[in-house]
Structure 1
Amino acid sequence: MEKSLVSVFLLILAVSHTLAKDATTKDGKRDTKEATKPKLPQTLSRGWGDYLIWTQTYEEALFKAKSNNKPIMVIHHLEDCPHSQALKKVFSEHKEIQKLAEKFILLNLVYETTDKHLSPDGQYVPRIIFVDPSLTVRADITGRYSNRLYAYEPTDIPLLYSNMQKALKLLKTEL
């Protein structure tokens, strides 16, 4: 009887020690920061603006653009592309762009669509294309590069902002 009590006691001690060890960091201290830090849910923004409303597919964006009479801004990028990451950082931190982006149907794609209209001059990243509510790709709203018309770099943020305004103005003049 005494042996079984000792065995149960040792088992309880081992389990409690293991559980206590899982609740501490490598240096033996409890990690209270991690437990109290609020976790943001994974969003469709992929870091381009977590508080903006993003669509999941191009088809959904087309439907919302038509039904809400708003232009679409499609951002093509790759998660492991340093140019895409640099543009994303500047885009997400630029308060005026984030505010203006609320007036668009937003979509960011890490893959190519089957719609060839979204790659009029080739498939490269980062690439930003505007589509008006009549579902027409605005080929006239371009970046500053002649070999990659829809490419933007972090230093091109003022031009991107201006092009966003242009897309919205074109919508108002066509109404």
Structure 2
Amino acid sequence: MTAPTMSSLSRLLVLLALVLVTGVAALASSSSASRGWNDSIEWVKPKEFDISINTKPIVYLFHKTWCGACKQFKASMNSGSKDVEDVVDFSKKFAMVNIEDDEAAPFGQEFSPDGGYIPRVIFAKPDGTPVKGLKNDGGNPRFKYFYSNPLELRRAMRNALDEMTPDWRNEGKTEL
């Protein structure tokens, strides 16, 4: 067996560096609170969310990593469509809580008023109290809190703002 040449050592070092960088990037993205649900939204994981200092209405997104409908909805949240842009803009007026897999266990029955299906979006007051009247009006009436695309979420977010923060449309406007 011959000793490795400098070029084979260089290739090995480059390959090792690529593996390390790829691994670090994958680890960083998996630890991100967005979990792939659009990095332009300021998501928070439930364990990191401090309700005691929250002042915004809340969007609770319940989903599972293995769920096909969740994966499709997640992909649509990264489509770059006008509806996604609107969801990103609306998200600045909410506390966006991303609840994945077993993180849903501590949430009570009020967070699954008509079943524990996923993906499910529950709107809540700043103190965490769910608002049952805020649901997906354009969706299946049997699954009132099921969302499958950014258009449905955008409409519901606008309705939630209208109900919980009626002055939101006037923010930043000055009277003449």
* Aligned 8 A contact 1:72 1:133 in 2: yes
Distance verdict in 2 for CA 1:87–1:64, change over 3 Å: farther
* Aligned 8 A contact 1:92 1:98 in 2: no
SS at match of 2:165: helix
Distance verdict in 2 for CA 1:74–1:116, change over 3 Å: same
Equivalent-residue separation in structure 1 for 2:65 and 2:119 (angstroms): 10
Equivalent-residue separation in structure 2 for 1:131 and 1:96 (angstroms): 20
> Matched residues, percent identical?
23
| Structure 2 residue identity aligned to 1:97 | V
Q: Could you report, residue by residue, the CA deviation over 1:58-88 in whole angstroms, capped at 9, with x for unpaired residues?
A: 67253343xxx20111111111211101111
1:4-153 counterparts in 2 under 5 A?
13-14=3-4, 16=6, 19-23=9-13, 39=25, 41-42=28-29, 43-57=32-46, 60=49, 62-65=51-54, 69-93=55-79, 94-110=84-100, 111=102, 112-114=104-106, 115-143=108-136, 144-153=139-148
Match in the other structure for 1:3: none
SS at match of 1:74: strand
* Aligned 8 A contact 2:43 2:96 in 1: yes
* Aligned 8 A contact 1:64 1:105 in 2: no
Gap regions ≥5 residues in structure 1: 1-9, 26-30
| Structure 2 residue identity aligned to 1:96 | D
1:171 to 142, 157, 164: 164
Distance verdict in 2 for CA 1:64–1:150, change over 3 Å: farther
Higher relative contact order (CA 8 A, sep 6+): 2
Gap regions ≥5 residues in structure 2: 168-176
| Structure 2 residue identity aligned to 1:51 | S
SS at match of 1:73: strand
